[in-house]
Structure 1
Amino acid sequence: MSNDIILRKLERLQTSAKPRVLDLFAGCGGLSLGFEAAGFEIRGAVEFDPEAAKSHGINFHNGAEEHSTPIDITKTSPTELCSQLELGTVSDAFDVVIGGPPCQAFARVGRSKLREIEEHPEAFIHDPRAQLYKKYLEYVDAFQPLAVLMENVPDILNHGGQNIAEETCEVLEAKGYICGYTLLNAAFYGVPQMRERMFLIAYRKEISSEVSFPKPTNWLVLPPGYEGSRSVALKTLRGRLDATHSYIEPPAALDDLPSVVTAKDALGDLPEINARELLATGAISRGARRFDTPVDYSTKKASAYADLMRNWPGHEAPTDGIRDHVIRFLPRDYELFSRMSQGDQYPEAYAHAVNMFKERLAAVQTNGKKLIEGTAEYKALWDSIVPPYDASKFPNKWRKMWDNQPARTLMAHLGKDGYSHIHYDSKQARTISVREAARLQSFPDGFRFSGTMNPAFKQIGNAVPPLLAKALAMHMMKTLKNKEKGASDES
C-alpha cells in the first residue's frame, strides 16, 4: 500500500474536508444515513437489489441515474465503479469503506482460504459464496481506505465452527490495519428495537494504535432471548481467547443512563389506522400498496424520538404528510389481532382464534343452522377464522408488540408478512405499516423507499439502524480527525 496515498488522505482529513465513504452491500442506506449524519460524505455505493439501489440514489444523490442503478460487485471492478460514478483515480476516491458481505458469503471459506485469496485469486472461482468476500477484499485493496466498518449477524462469530470476524481481522491486519470487533445492541443507542449485530472496525496503523466502540446512551435489561444468545456467543469466544485476540468486550450500559426508546415513543404520534373499520367500509383491499397518497400527522404529541424522526437534518418530513403509512390486507386476522394481549405469540393467537371459531359456531347453531364437523361448510368457517400453522411448531411466528419496550428485531421477512410485529394498540388491530417499520429502525420520516410496500419492508428489515450507525460513525470520526497520529480515542 502506497504511503504517499495514505499521507495524502491523512493530510486532507486534517482540513475541514469530510471523509469520503464507499458503502458496499449498501441496501437502501441505513449505514450511509448514519455516516452522513456524523459528517461523512457518502460518495458512492454498491447494491445489487434494484429497488434498494434506487432508494439509496434517491436519498443520497437526488436520484441521479448513475447512483441509482444496481451494481453487481462480482462483475464490477473498482476501476469500473469509479468510471461509472465519475470519481477519478481509484486510490484517491474514498477514505472509508463501510458495509459487509452477506453472511452466506463466508460459508466453507476457511481461515487458510481467506489468507490465500490474494495469492491464488482463481482458487475459489467456482464457489460463488466466496466471491463476495473476495470482491470485498479487492475493493479494500484498490481504494486503500483509512478505515473500514463491517456489520453482520452475531452468528458470524461461530459460522460453521469459524469465527469469520476474527479471520477478517487477521486478513486486514496483514494489510496494515489495526482491527477489533464486538457485539452491539441497537436499543442501547436510542433505537426502539432490540437488534443485536456484530460490528468490526479497522484503522490504518498510521491512524490509531487501538480500536474502541461507542458507549451506550440508553439502558435496559435485555429479555432472555437476546441476553441468552449474546451470552452463548460470548461464552464461545471467551473459551477461545487464544484465537480471538481482536475481540473487544461490548461497552457496558449503565443503569443511570436514560431508559430505552419504546415502541410507543416511536409510533404513538403517527395517525391511527383502524383496520377493522377500513375492512368494513371497503377502504382496504388486496393489491399492491403504493406510496402516492399523503397522510397528515395526527394531533398527538410527538415524543422526543418522534420529533427527531420528523426533523432529521436533510431528511425532514414532507410538508404534505407521510406517504408510506400503509398496511397489509389481512381480513381473516384483524379481529384476532384485537384480542391478543401485548407480548402474545402464535400459540396464544391460535388459542384466541379457536375460541373465536367456537363463538361463531355457537352463533350459527343458535340461528338454527347445523354445521357438522368434517363437512365443507364447517371447514370453511374454521379456515375463515383460524390460521393454518401448527401452534407447537411455530411458537415465534407471530408477536404482538409491547408498547413499553423496544420492538424485537425487524427482519427482511417483513417483505413477505408482518406477523412478527403486530401493533400494540388493539383498537387498530393490524400489523405495522411501512412508515412504522421505518420508525422502529430509526429511519427519519423524510427518508423515501423505492417501490411498493413489500420491497420497502424488505429494505427496512435488511438495514442497519441509522441511529446506531451514527453512533459508530461519530466515534470513528473522532479517531480519523485526531491530529496526533496513533493517539487512542478514549471517548
Structure 2
Amino acid sequence: MSKKILIVDLFAGPGGLGEGFSSFTCAGDRPFKLATSVEKDPKAHRTLTLRAFFRQFDQVPEEYYEYVRAGDPSLREELFRQFRSESDAAVEETLGGPSTLGDKEDDKRIFSRIRAALENHEGPKVVIGGPPCQAYSVVGRARNKGIEGYTLENDGRARLYREYLEVLNEVEPEVFVMENVRGILSAKVNGQLIFDQILKDLKKPFKSVGRSKGSEYEIFSLVSPLPQADVLDNRAYTSSSDFLIKAEKYGIPQTRHRVILLGVKRGLLIREPEILDPSPNICLTTADVIGDLPRLRSGLTKIENTPESWQGNLHDAANAIRRMLEELNERLSLPDGFPLNGSGASLVSQGGNFVPFDAKMGGFAFPDESLRKWFWDDRIGGFLNHSARGHMPSDIYRYLFASSFAQLNDGASPTSRDFHPDLKPKHKNWTSGKFVDRFKVQARNRTPSTITSHIAKDGHYFIHYDPAQCRSLTVREAARIQTFPDNYFFEGNRTEQYSQVGNAVPPLLANKIAQIVYGILN
C-alpha cells in the first residue's frame, strides 16, 4: 500500500504546480507523488511527460542530459526505450497523450486513471490545478468585448472550473489548491460576481455537480489570516482580495498576482492552516535571476542575419539613439561611449537549444545559496532553451532606446510620449494612450514583470536590460523568472516554449504552498 501523498494535477501545462509539490522535501524524503497529470496542449504535454520521466530517478541518467543538450526530438524515443520502466511510468502518469477535461472520450481515460491510482492508496490525496484563465483575465475580457454576441456565461473556458469540481467529487481529496488570474475576482455572469459562486461551489463540490452527498470543504487564504481565527465555526475573510497572492512578497522574482484558493476537507483541521511567510528582506531583481546567463546578440529579420550585419546595425542604432536621448532630454548626462562602450561588438552568438557554460564569465549572480541550489544543475554543463529571437532593425532601434532609457532612469521604461518621432511605430493609435507601455524593459535593478503567454507573440514587453544585447528575453530567461530549474527542458519550437512558460505557475511558489499542505496533512 502506498503511503505517499498522491497528487492529481489538472490543467497541468508544462507542470509548474506539480514540479513544486513533487520537489518538496522533508527530512530527506519527498512525500508528494504525482499520480495523474492532465494537459490538453500537445507540446506542453510533451514537456510534462519528459519531466515525469525525469522524476522517476533518484540519480538521473546521463542519457537524459545528452538528449536535452542535443535538442533533437527524434532522440526522445530512443531515450525512453533505454529506460522502459521509467518511461512507461511517466507515460501512464500523463495519460499516454494530451487529454481534455470535459471531452467525453478523454474523461473516460482521465477518470479511469484516477480510480486506478487511488484503488490501493491509503494515504492522503491532493488535487491541484488552475482552469484556463483567458475568459476571466482583464485583458481577455477587454478583447471579448469586441466579439459580437460574446457573453462570459457562454464561454466554454469560463465553465472549465466545473470540470475541476467533477474531479474533486470523484477524488474527495483531503486538500485541494486552485489557481487563477486576479480578474476572476471581478468577473461577472448575469450581473453577479462569479467568484462568490465559485467559493460556494468549492465548499460543496458534490452538490454543485448534482450529487446528493460527498465531502465538504473549508476555503482558506494562503496569505491572509482569518480575522476570527479562534472561532472555528464562524470564520469569514473580509474581502475577496484576501485570496490574492502577490508573488514578489514571497521570494518569487516576479510581480505575479494570482488568486490561489486552499480547500481543506471539513473536520480535518484542529487549527487554522499556516500562511505563506513573507520575505521582506528578499526583493529579487531581474539581474539576480538572469544575470549569470550567457550574453547573446539578437537575431535580425528583414535583413541578412549575420554577426557583421548585426554589429553594423547596432553601431548605427547606437549613434542614432545617443543623439535622440540628448535631443529628448538635455538633462541626461551620457557617459563616453554610451550605451555600448564597445561591449556589443564581441557578441556574435544568438544562443541555441544548448549554450555551454563559459568559465570566463565568472561566478553566479544568485543572491543566496538556496536560490542557486534551486536553479543550478552542474551536470548540464551550460544552459538549455537559451536562444534569442530575431527582431526587425526598426525594433532593434526601439529596444536599444528603451534599455538605454531605463539604464539612465533608474529602471523606468519609456512611455509612448518619451519616444523620439523617428522611433514611433506606425500604429494609427500610437498617441491614443493605449500603447503607453508598449515597450517594457525588464530593468536590471527591479523585480521582473509577470511572464505571460503573450511573450510568445512578441518581445516588446520583455526587453532585456542590457543595451549591448538589444533583444527580448529568451525562453530560459523567462523560465528563470518563472523559477523553473535549469534542468527543466521545454519541448516544441521556441514560440511553443514561450507559451508553456508564460502559462505556468512558478514552481518555487508551488513548493512553498506544498510545505503548507504538508503541514496540514501531518
TM-score above 0.5: yes
Maintained 8 Å contact 2:384/2:486? no
Equivalent residue for 2:17?
A: 31
1:451 equivalent to 2:477? Answer: no
Residues in 1 aligned to 2:370 and 2:306: alpha-carbon distance in whole angstroms:
33
Deviation, structure 1 residue 291: 5.4
Change (3 A) 1:69 1:394: same
1:172 positional shift = 2.8
Counting only pairs closer than 5 Å after superposition, residues 129-140 of structure 1 correspond to structure 2 as 129=157, 131-140=159-168
TM-score, normalization by structure 1:
0.69
Cα separation, 1, equivalents of 2:153 and 2:256: 34
Asked if 1:338 corresponds to 2:396, the answer is no
Residue 95 (str. 1) matches residue 125 (str. 2): yes
Give the C-alpha shift of residue 473 in structure 1: 1.1
How far apart are residue 101 of structure 1 and its match? 1.3
Aligned alpha-carbon RMSD (Å): 3.3
Corresponding residue of 2:377: 316
1:460 Cα offset (Å):
0.8
- Give ranges in structure 1 of 5+ residues lacking alignment: 1-7, 108-123, 220-257, 358-384, 482-491
Contact 1:271–1:296 (CA under 8 A) maintained in structure 2: yes
Q: 1:134 to 1:185 in 2, by over 3 A?
A: same
Task: Name the structure 2 match of 1:65.
Answer: 91
Q: SS state of the match for residue 176, structure 2?
A: strand
Q: Are 1:148 and 2:176 an aligned pair?
A: yes
Residue of structure 2 equivalent to 1:465: 506
Tell me the residue number matched to 2:109. Answer: 80
Q: 1:291 to 1:283 in 2, by over 3 A?
A: same
Give the percent of matched residue pairs that are identical in Structure 1 and Structure 2: 30
Q: Is the 8 A contact 2:299 2:310 kept in 1?
A: no
43-52 vs 61-70, greater mean Cα deviation? 61-70
Q: Does 1:54 align with 2:46?
A: yes
Give CA deviations for 1:213-257 in whole Å, capped at 9, x if unaligned.
Answer: 5333323xxxxxxxxxxxxxxxxxxxxxxxxxxxxxxxxxxxxxx
Query: What are the ranges of 5 or more consecutive residues in structure 2 without an aligned counterpart?
Result: 25-29, 55-86, 138-151, 205-214, 222-242, 312-349, 407-411
Query: Residue 284 of structure 2 corresponds to which residue in structure 1?
Result: 261
Contact (CA 8 Å) 1:33, 1:466: kept in 2 or not? Answer: yes
Aligned-residue offset at 1:276: 7.8
Contact kept in structure 1, 2:352 and 2:388, CA below 8 Å: no
Q: CA deviation at 1:18?
A: 2.7
Closer/same/farther in 2, CA of residues 290 and 126 from structure 1, 3 Å limit:
farther
1:169 equivalent in alignment to 2:209: no
Compared CA separation, residues 144 and 436, structure 1 to 2 (3 A): same
- The question of whether the paired residues in 1 share the 8 Å contact of 2:399 and 2:439 is answered with no
**Counterpart of 1:303?**
365
How far is the alpha carbon of 1:308 from its aligned partner?
Answer: 5.1
Q: Distance in 2 between matches of 1:216 and 1:397?
A: 34
Question: TM-score, normalised on structure 2?
Answer: 0.65
**Which whole-Å CA distance do the structure 2 matches of 1:89 and 1:95 have between them?**
9
Q: Note if 1:190 corresponds to 2:251.
A: yes
1:309: how far off?
Answer: 6.0
Report the alpha carbon displacement of residue 328 of structure 1 after superposing the two structures with TM: 1.4
The one-letter amino acid of 1:265's match is: D
Structure holding more strand per residue: 2
Partner of 1:270: 293
What amino acid is aligned across from residue 450 of structure 1 in structure 2? E
Query: After superposition, where does 1:72-471 map in structure 2 within 5 Å?
Result: 72-75=100-103, 76=105, 80-81=109-110, 83=112, 87-89=116-118, 92=121, 95-103=125-133, 128-129=156-157, 131-160=159-188, 162-174=192-204, 175-181=215-221, 182-208=243-269, 212=273, 214-219=275-280, 258-275=281-298, 279-281=306-308, 292-297=353-358, 299-304=361-366, 311-312=373-374, 316=377, 318-332=379-393, 333-340=395-402, 341-342=405-406, 343-347=412-416, 351-352=419-420, 354=421, 357=422, 386-389=424-427, 390-391=430-431, 392-471=433-512
The residue type equivalent to 1:406 in the other structure is T
| Partner SS, residue 20 of structure 1 | strand
The answer (yes or no) to whether the contact 1:324–1:433 under 8 Å persists in 2 is yes
Change in CA separation of 1:421 and 1:106 when aligned onto 2, cut-off 3 Å? closer
Q: CA deviation at 1:155?
A: 1.4
Pick closer, same or farther for the CA change 1:22–1:428 going to 2, 3 Å. same
The answer to whether the Cα contact below 8 Å between 1:202 and 1:211 also exists between their aligned partners in 2 is no
Q: Secondary structure at the match of 2:268?
A: coil
Question: Residues 35 and 428 from structure 1, CA distance in 2 versus in 1: closer, same or farther, beyond 3 angstroms?
Answer: same
Q: Distance in 1 between matches of 2:33 and 2:162?
A: 26
Shift of 1:88: 4.2
Measure, in 2, the Cα distance between the counterparts of 1:388 and 1:408: 26
CA contact (8 A) 2:6 2:33 kept: yes
**Do 1:106 and 1:130's aligned partners in 2 also have CA atoms closer than 8 Å?**
yes
- Is the contact made by 1:21 and 1:95 (CA closer than 8 Å) also made in structure 2? yes
Letter in 2 for 1:177: Y
Deviation at 1:386, TM superposition (A): 4.5
| Kept in 1: contact 2:38–2:98 (CA 8 A) | yes
Higher deviation after alignment, 78-87 or 461-470 = 78-87
Asked if the contact 1:100/1:150 (under 8 Å) is kept, the reply is yes
Distance across 2 between alignment mates of 1:261 and 1:106 = 29
Counterpart of 1:470 in 2: which secondary structure? Answer: helix
